[in-house]
Amino acid sequence: MRSRAVAVGGMVALAVGVARVVGRMRRRRPAVEKVAQELRTPLLYLLPEAPSGRPPRRSPWLERLANRAIARRGAHPQTFAAGDDAPGQPGVGGFVYRPAGRPAGAVLWIHGGGMITGFAAINHTAATRMARELGLVVATVDYRLAPEHPFPAALDDCMTALRWLHDNAARLGVDPARIAVGGESAGGGLAAMVAQRAHDEGLPVAFQVLVYPMLDDRTALRDPGHRGEFVWTPSYNRQAWEWFLGHPVREEESRPYAAAARRGDLTGLPPAWIGVGELDLFHDEDVAYARRLEEAGVPVELVVVPGMAHAMDMLPAPSMRAFRDSWLRALRAGLAD
Inside any domain, residue 26 = no
Inside any domain, residue 102 = yes
Inside any domain, residue 218 = yes
Nearest C-alpha neighbor of 109 from the set 89, 92, 90, 95 = 95
Q: Which residues contact 319 (CB under 8 A, 6 or more apart)?
A: 36, 38, 39, 305, 308
pLDDT of 273: 99
φ and ψ of 118, to 5 deg: 95, 170
R_g of the chain computed on alpha carbons = 21
pLDDT of 82: 81
Which range among 46-55, 122-131, 152-161 shows the weakest confidence by mean pLDDT? Answer: 46-55
CATH number of the domain residue 323 falls in:
3.40.50.1820
Say how many domains are in the chain.
1
Q: Which residues are catalytic?
A: 185, 280, 310
Q: Is the dihedral of CA 198, 283, 277, 246 positive or negative?
A: positive
Inside any domain, residue 36 = no
Q: What global pTM score does this model have?
A: 0.89
Average pLDDT of the chain to the nearest whole number? 88
Inside any domain, residue 229 = yes
pLDDT tens string 230-242: 999 999 999 999 9
C-alpha of 289 from chain center: 16
Inside any domain, residue 296 = yes
Per DSSP, helices labelled H in the chain are 2-32, 43-46, 60-72, 124-134, 153-167, 169-172, 186-201, 234-245, 283-295, 318-336
pLDDT of 71: 57
Inside any domain, residue 265 = yes
Inside any domain, residue 45 = no
Residue 202 belongs to what domain range? 50-336
Residue 10 or 197, more confident:
197
Is the pLDDT at 140 greater than 50, yes or no?
Answer: yes
